[in-house]
Chain A
Amino acid sequence: MALPKYTETRYRVWHYFYIIICTCVFFFLIAPLFVIFPLSFNAEEFLSFSEGMKNLDPDAFSLRWYKDMIYGTKNPWGLAAKNSFIIAIFATLGSVILGTVAALGLSSRHMPYKGLIMATLISPMIVPLIISGVAIFFFMAKAGLAATHTGIVLAHIILGTPFVVITVTATLSGFDHSVTRAASSLGSDPVNTFMKITLPLILPGVISGGLFAFVTSFDEVVVVLFLAGLENTTIPIQMWTGLREQLSPTILAVATCLIILSTLILVTAELLRRRSERLRGINR
């Protein structure tokens, strides 16, 4: 953003002030994440930079917390990671299937009471999590599903579907319905039309909704705190307990892994978004 040569001094000053403010805000947003990396390689048991680390002494760094995360005795991360992935994968599948099918219905111009139904379907996103947690807990307790994987998966489907509904409805809004009509006029049945024509075209929206649902489930702690028993512990629950009780650098090793995972998800989501914009002919 080069300024034209004729800019007056006070606007020049203002412009640099603006750039400085923006830099500070970007720093505030991203810097906290980078504190975690070096500290997770700390050779000592403290969560602050030791003198050795400040002098870049190689002995001050070690992989002991990563070893502890993977091989540590009595440590819950293995079970937690397994549970987290199982729950997130099933919750994502459920959310994607239910959400996509519902979005197809919602995008039809024949849908009655569209506003009311849409509001109901996305309500889990608007209602504060703590209230959702209480309500879902009451249901699961009555249904005998508290402290089971099934219960947590169902809870995460509830929380994940709104994202799928929103992203898929958005993708369908730019969808050219004449292609499905063309398919049916050529003798394809509705299921076949959906699998061969509609789904490939709306796939970017479905996948990005699925990513939202996955992250929601993988990162969800409020509802799980109400629902989970010892057997169903997840990574967020372990982090929550760890942060409340004793802040050990093992948590930072886990956090580093989670940041890497979220970077991967971010890259996927961005690529998908661009692809879907290209497909919908939105060029910027």
Chain B
Amino acid sequence: MSIETGKILTTDGIPLEVSLKKAERKNKIKAFLLVAPLLFFLLITYIFPIGDMLMRSVDDKMVTEMLPKTFKSMEKWDGKELPPEEVFESFYLDFQKLVEEKRDGKLSTQLNYTKNGFKSILKKLRRKAKNFEEGNYKEQIMAVHQRWADVEYWRAIQRRAPAYTSQKYLKGIDMYKNEEGNIVSVEEDRRIHRILWLRTLEIAFFVTLLCFLMAYPIAHLLATLPMKYSNLLMICVLLPFWTSLLVRTASWMILLQQQGVVNDFFVMIGLVADDNRPEMMFNKTGTYVAMTQILLPFMVLPLYSVMKTISPSLMRAGKSLGGTPFVAFWKVYFPLTIPGIGAGCLLVFILAIGYYITPALVGGASGTLISNQIAFHMKSTLDWSFASAMGLMLLAGVLAIYWIYNKLVGVDNIKLG
């Protein structure tokens, strides 16, 4: 076949196949050129910076670069007994250089992260090192402080030799590498990050569930009512959807405060005593209520767009074939809405898992999520590498959910409005 078509010539005398391929390639390049500006813009300003986050999160070059000679001479040291004179000498030289450049403070902070007690002995060493005589540095350094004669401290320095570390990721799940190099959990009462991860998952899960339970009936009503009524009711879904997130959070802050409308109502119907108004804000309740209302439209819209396409005659057919309305609903209608359920749940879950603003405002201490922790490290502690590591862990989770969803339902089904 291909040989046959190869012989057909165009009017210019070029074989048709060649001419077609050329045209095809030209079209491909044309299409690509249209996409290129946005693609390169996003690659430079967005995708590469996410890669940069990855680099920052594992980067541990600081100490590696500060003590180059020490780490070189430590390569031969087995770490069992005190290092040989050579290591002490190169450490002394590295350290003197840092003192000259006034960078020894940074070193002491970094080493103190690895093992407590470095700060004071480095300070002492800096004072004494001025009067060091040449040769036999081992004796002289060990004489500065007894900890310099402790092999544990030299091992701690050695642990900082690699230029890359997984330490920030371990810290994100409350683990660390102990002195023997094993990965262990921190003490029970200091496992704050695990609690946060679990709480984030829990809140995202229950918010998704609540949204689904509330959205399903109203999406059904919107899809089955005659157009003129459903258009009116649709405003109730679309107006919150288009309204500023902060406005909606503000209205929940007003409603849920102790002297707020909801509490007033509870007092009025006699549910709670006036002097015993429950605290509904600055805790998990606040986060749940506000997030559910804010994310509800994202569940209603995909459900509605799927339900709209289901013909009402299917339910009638189910009923006429002897099913009760409940059986007809469960066996006919519900399975047809599964793509909508999938899209809505994915959207709400992914949005909920990365939520930041609403929990920060109404969540208090017990209602904040992992995003709040990331923001805290970005803005307050300035531990950017830790913030990057936690961000990437969250991103990995979101991408995993997205991937599973794509396998199960297909991303093309997502619709907006």
Contacts and interface: CB of A to CB of B under 8 A. Distances in A.
Interface of A: 1, 11, 18-19, 21-22, 25-26, 28-30, 32-33, 35-36, 39, 46-49, 98-99, 101-102, 104-106, 108, 110-112, 117, 120-121, 123-124, 126-139, 154-155, 157-158, 161, 163, 165-167, 170, 208, 212, 215, 218-219, 221-222, 225-226, 236, 239-240, 243-244, 247, 251-252, 255, 258-259, 262-263, 265-266, 269-270, 273, 284
Main secondary structure of the interface of A (DSSP, over half): helix
B321 interface: no
22 contacts: A1-B224, A1-B225, A29-B236, A32-B293, A102-B37, A111-B35, A112-B31, A120-B43, A128-B394, A131-B391, A132-B46, A133-B375, A134-B388, A134-B391, A135-B53, A136-B49, A221-B245, A239-B247, A240-B246, A244-B361, A252-B254, A255-B247
B297 A29 contact: yes
Contacts of B175: none
Given A135-B46, A135-B53, A130 B375 contact: yes
B394 A48 contact: no
Nearest to A145: B45
A22 B374 contact: no
Interface residues of B, number: 91
A56 B394 CA distance: 50
B254 A35 contact: yes
Contact of B353 (A121, A128, A218, A251): A128
Interface in B21-58: 24, 27-28, 30-39, 41-50, 52-53, 56
Contacts of B28: 110-112
A111 B236 contact: no
Contacts of A166: 414, 416
Interface string B217-239: 11001001101000001011111
Contact of B242 (A117, A128, A262): A262
A219 B261 contact: no
A4 to B, nearest CB: 11
B276 interface: no
Contacts of B379: 225-226
10 closest residue pairs by CB, A with B = A128-B354, A105-B34, A105-B35, A108-B31, A110-B27, A135-B49, A102-B38, A139-B49, A32-B251, A130-B371
B133 to A, nearest CB: 47
B374 A134 contact: yes
Contacts of B121: none
A22 B293 CA distance: 14
A259 B247 contact: yes
Contacts of A47: 254, 257, 260
Given A105-B32, A258-B244, A137 B250 contact: no
Given A127-B50, A270-B238, 15 more contacts: A30-B239, A33-B239, A33-B251, A35-B254, A98-B38, A105-B31, A106-B31, A110-B27, A117-B35, A120-B43, A131-B391, A134-B388, A135-B52, A136-B49, A158-B42
A178 B43 CA distance: 34
A236 B386 CA distance: 27
Contacts of B357: 221-222, 240
A135 B378 CA distance: 11
A120 B39 contact: yes
B371 A30 contact: no
A96 to B, nearest CB: 11
Nearest to B222: A22
B398 A102 contact: no
Contacts of B92: none
A120 B214 contact: no
B416 A212 contact: yes
Contacts of B215: 25
Contacts of B392: 131
Given A11-B325, A112-B28, A98 B293 contact: no
A170 B412 CA distance: 10
A32 B248 contact: yes
B194 interface: no
Given A110-B24, A126-B350, A28 B252 contact: no
A135 B293 contact: no
Contacts of A157: 41
B398 A128 contact: yes
A108 B30 contact: yes
Given A158-B46, A212-B416, A99 B244 contact: no
A131 B370 CA distance: 11
Given A11-B325, A22-B217, A102-B35, A130 B391 contact: yes
